[in-house]
Amino acid sequence: MSLSIDRFLTVRLLDTPSAVQTQDQSLAIYVTDQYSDQFIDALYLDVSSQSEAESIFGTAAEICKATAMAFSHPMKPRSIRAG
């Protein structure tokens, strides 16, 4: 069963150019339904490279497709928290 995320989360995006300059790009958070034994307290794990994400979840996992986009971006995060 899939639920729409807009039932649980409200997002407000700032429309000013200064918002982009002040954002902290050091940590990105991704939500996934793909579980790993390496989750901390069975809740989340931090990955710092695409190869680390692929070794944990497998190269065909949806979370790896998302992390590949983030780690290939010029302003890539230092780490991604998946949970």
pLDDT at position 27, please? 79
- 50: pLDDT strictly greater than 90: yes
- 51: pLDDT strictly greater than 90: yes
- CB of 82 closer than 8 Å to CB of 40: no
- 70: pLDDT strictly greater than 90: no
Beta strands 45-47 and 79-82 are antiparallel
pLDDT at position 19, please? 47
pLDDT in tens, 3-48: 676 676 676 766 655 544 555 567 787 788 887 777 777 788 889 9
Q: What angle do CA 76, 7, 30 make, to 5 degrees?
A: 20
Classified as helix, coil or strand, 79 is: strand
